[in-house]
């Protein structure tokens, strides 16, 4: 009886295999292709990140050497061909500083906005917004700058954001509001911070109480 049952199971398995072997082969093939695709994509990402890292390193060296055109060209390569890597917004930030120092505020703003769009975490986003708000202050686009500073940001940025808000308000002639912003910045700075002196000087320059 046991042998008969076993033979029946074998015959059933053979029948199932005959009917479903094509589906099984297809599933195995698809699984293999998916695995190969995942491996290939990871390899591509790794290789792309390495190339972007080398470009970024060259860009930083060019920035330290004052090679403005080279920085610009390398930044274009990073932002156009390696936008998906972490090095593209980092390169854009360096390029923005170089462009600003070279007197090209328009280019600096474009690079900062790229960095903002491609920032990968709250800290990076907040840092770029702070720089962009400073650039908008210089170009007297006060309302745009204040809107950026109104956006949520980590607590570590409260003092810097309040100070920048004070800068914009002071430039608008809103001394009382600027004083409040600077006082808030001082409240957020630790007692031993060397930066307190900078903010205090700005506050003192406004006069009043």
Phi, psi of 48 (to 5 degrees): -65, -40
pLDDT digits (tens, 9 = 90+) for 95-152: 899 999 999 999 999 999 999 999 888 988 999 999 999 999 999 999 999 999 999 9
Q: What is the DSSP string of 41-88?
A: HHHHHHHHHHHHHHHHHHHHHHHHTT-HHHHHHHHHHHHHH-TTSTHH
pLDDT digits (tens, 9 = 90+) for 15-52: 555 665 566 555 555 555 444 444 443 544 556 778 88
Give me the CATH topology for the region 18-120.
Answer: 1.25.40
Give the pLDDT of residue 27: 55
When pLDDT is cut at 50, 70 and 90, the band that residue 63 belongs to is confident
Cβ neighbours, 10 Å, residue 167: 21
What percentage of residues in the chain have a pLDDT greater than 70? 76
- Three-state SS at 152: coil
What percentage of residues in the chain have a pLDDT greater than 90? 40
Cβ neighbours, 10 Å, residue 183: 15
CA dist list (Å): 3 to 7, 9, 16, 38, 183: 6, 10, 20, 46, 91
Quote the CA–CA distance of 132 and 135 in Å, as a whole number.
5
Task: Identify which of 20, 84, 15, 19 has the alpha carbon closest to the alpha carbon of residue 52.
Answer: 84
């Amino acid at each position: 009886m046991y042998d008969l049952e076993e033979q029946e199971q074998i015959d059933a398995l053979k029948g199932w295999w005959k009917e479903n072997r094509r589906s099984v082969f297809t599933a195995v093939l698809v699984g293999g292709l998916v695995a190969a695709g995942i491996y290939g994509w990871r390899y591509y990402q790794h290789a792309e990140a390495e190339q972007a890292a080398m470009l970024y390193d060259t860009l930083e060296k060019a920035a330290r050497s004052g090679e403005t055109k080279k920085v610009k060209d390398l930044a274009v390569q990073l932002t156009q061909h390696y936008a998906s890597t972490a090095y593209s917004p980092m390169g854009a930030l360096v390029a923005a500083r170089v462009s600003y120092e070279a007197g090209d505020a328009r280019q600096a703003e474009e690079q900062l906005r790229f960095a903002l769009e491609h920032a990968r975490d709250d800290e990076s986003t907040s840092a770029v917004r702070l720089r962009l708000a400073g650039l908008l202050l210089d170009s007297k686009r006060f309302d745009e700058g204040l809107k950026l500073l109104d956006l949520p940001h980590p607590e570590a940025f409260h003092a810097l954001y309040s100070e920048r808000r004070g800068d914009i308000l002071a430039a608008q002639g809103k001394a009382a509001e600027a004083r409040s912003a600077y006082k808030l910045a001082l409240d957020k700075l630790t007692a031993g911070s060397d930066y307190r002196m900078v903010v205090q000087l700005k506050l003192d320059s406004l006069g009043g109480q």
